[in-house]
Amino acid sequence: MELHVVIEGDKDLAGQLYRQLKDAIRSGRLAAGEKLPPSRLFAEQLGLSRKTVSQAYARLTLDKLLTGRVGSGTFVADGAARRQAPVAPARPLAGAAMAEHWRGMRTPLRHPAPAGSSRYEFIGGAPARDLFPHADWRRCVLHALRQGARSRGLYGDAEGLRELRDGIARHASFSRGVRCAAADILVTNGAQQALDLIARVLVEPGSTVAMEEPGYPPARLLLSAQGANVIGVPVDGEGLVVERIPDGTRLIYVTPAHQFPLGMPMSERRRKALLARAAALGAVVIEDDYDSEFRYEGRPTDSLQSMDTHGCVAFVGTFSKTLSPDLRLGYLIAPPAVLEAVGTAKHLTDWHTSTPAQWALAKFMADGDLHKHIRRCHAAYAARRERIVRRFADDLSPWFELVPATAGIHLAALCRREFDVAQLIALARRVDVGLYPLAPFFHFSAPRQGLMLGYGAIDETDIDPALDRVRDVLQQLG
């Protein structure tokens, strides 16, 4: 790789080179420890004499910006860079208001430190890192690399690798009863991109969008950023209160299998009512099926998509909860009316999802490793969930009651009495327990006080010691 230097004319050549290298070092473009090209090679690249380059290097060495190492070469000296003051624009930025709009958005699920850093972690949405099938995944990654070596090195289909879409169609049909073929599926960079693509093709400034209250903040913020008028629709024990969906609604976002964040499933009566309301409005329903592979009680419930007879449900799935959020792999099963449009939007935003990752996941699914992994995680999560349920029915019951939930990797605990939840969380962190509040998931109404208890990231044997510490803190709070 050539070092970018521009020499103009034929005067003060060593001075030009000295000044440009000095500026690159001071600004940090040439980092401390960076090795510079040998003077002979650099001279050939620039069309200069070796003496000219050597003179510039010598001046920079005298300035203590470069240092020579016998037998190794010339390097940028430690501490040579200095912080540059930002250049003030000549006039106010034309798009300053929009940039400020994005900068000021609160992103409560972004997990900044110290989130996830306690010894005992009840962080939501995080699968078990210790259960990740490293050996099986490594084998699939090697398969993906071999496939890549045989490819022509061209861009792939925006919709995704056919082999992976076939695997997703089988998986969604088997586990959720979804009616689809590979041609109905779009592979995305996590569920969040699927939401973004639907919003891009259906939402315009002023469009009315309905979503659950409380609900998933990234979905609300994304839809608002597209200019939508987002309306919060309350939930009760049966899920979304369908009759509260306003007229003129264009898009409806729901989590029917495991309401986020409270956890109750949507009743069959409400599901039918929601589909009828969407058909009457001509609205698309986004069914975010983020963690329903893990079900612990009762009979399986139909997905909205499998009940849909009007082609109005967009089914969104993710592998962030079953495998790892690091992979950034999800999918969208789009209704026929928007399938081609979201494919175009995907092509224009990032062309396609990483092909090696798609090959690896396709192999992982084809070999039966995904089902095996889900069964293993299900057994572990069921045991962790049972420990939490038992404790909140026992010594933690004076302070909290759990919202009934039949699926997922988190539970919601509502406060039975008034106390300072923020203080509880702060004191729990002092004793190395990571707790997280429910309040940030309420936006359109007064928040209900409580906790969101994820059990993907905490080992079963750690749950009782962690909840002992929580109980002790609660007793101190009175």
Residue 428 burial (C-beta neighbours within 10 Å; 0-12, 13-18, 19+): buried
- For position 299, what pLDDT does the model report? 77
Contacts of 251 (CB under 8 A, 6+ apart): 198, 199, 202, 203, 207, 209, 210, 223, 228, 283, 284, 286
Stated as kind and residue range, the H or E segment containing 450 is strand 450-454
Q: pTM (2 decimals)?
A: 0.87
Query: Tokens for 231?
Result: 């309306």
Stated as kind and residue range, the H or E segment containing 369 is helix 369-392
For residue 289, give the 3-state DSSP assignment: coil
Q: How far apart are CA 464 and CA 391, in angstroms?
A: 8
- C-alpha angle 464/459/369, rounded to 5°? 150
For residue 254, give the 3-state DSSP assignment: strand
- C-alpha angle 243/246/250, rounded to 5°? 120
Residue ranges of domains in the chain, CATH in brackets: 13-76 (1.10.10.10), 120-129+372-477 (3.90.1150.10), 134-367 (3.40.640.10)
Q: How far apart are CA 80 and CA 64, in angstroms?
A: 7
Q: Please, what's the largest Cα pairwise distance for the chain?
A: 86
For residue 99, give the 3-state DSSP assignment: helix
Task: For residue 9, give Cα distances in angstroms to 45, 47, 48, 245.
Answer: 16, 12, 11, 71
DSSP 181: -
**Could you report how far apart the first and last alpha carbons of the chain are, in Å?**
66
Q: How far apart are CA 238 and CA 276, in angstroms?
A: 16
pLDDT in tens, the chain (478 residues): 578 888 898 899 999 999 999 999 988 888 889 999 999 999 999 999 999 999 999 999 999 999 998 888 999 998 877 655 566 666 788 888 888 888 887 777 776 556 668 899 999 999 999 999 999 999 999 999 999 999 888 899 999 999 999 999 999 999 889 999 999 999 999 999 999 999 999 999 999 999 999 999 999 999 999 999 999 999 999 999 999 999 999 999 999 999 999 999 999 999 999 999 999 999 999 999 999 999 998 877 889 999 999 999 999 999 999 999 999 999 999 999 999 999 999 999 999 999 999 999 999 999 999 999 999 999 999 999 999 999 999 999 999 999 999 999 999 999 999 999 999 999 999 999 999 999 999 999 999 999 999 999 999 999 999 999 999 999 999 7
- For position 81, what pLDDT does the model report? 72
